[in-house]
Amino acid sequence: MKRIKIKVYGLVQGVFFRYTTRKIARKLGITGYVKNMPNGSVLIEAEGPENELFELLEFSKKGPKYAQVEKVDYELQGSKNEFKGFEYAF
């Protein structure tokens, strides 16, 4: 189990980015959260098997239909086992 922290920049708020991220994460069995940030970016923190986390990362590089992803930063870490499901954070 690993943990990934993904920061997504561009037109990523108000385009169903969080909704679609949560849907995909739940389908992959990943736990964590997705959150809109004050600077217009989206933050994803997730835990699960490394290959599923990289699948979530690949999604974040393009986003849903109306998103315009300009840049994605990520950091892979050891799991902390602190999430129960995958939710929105506010």
Q: Is 18 a catalytic residue?
A: yes
In the set 18, 26, 51, 81, the catalytic residue is 18
- Are 2 and 78 contacting, i.e. CB atoms less than 8 angstroms apart? yes
Q: Which of 36, 39, 51, 81 is catalytic?
A: 36
Separation of alpha carbons 60 and 8, rounded Å: 7
Let me know: does 49 contact 76? Beta carbons within 8 Å: no
Beta bridge partners of 54: none
Active site residues: 18, 36
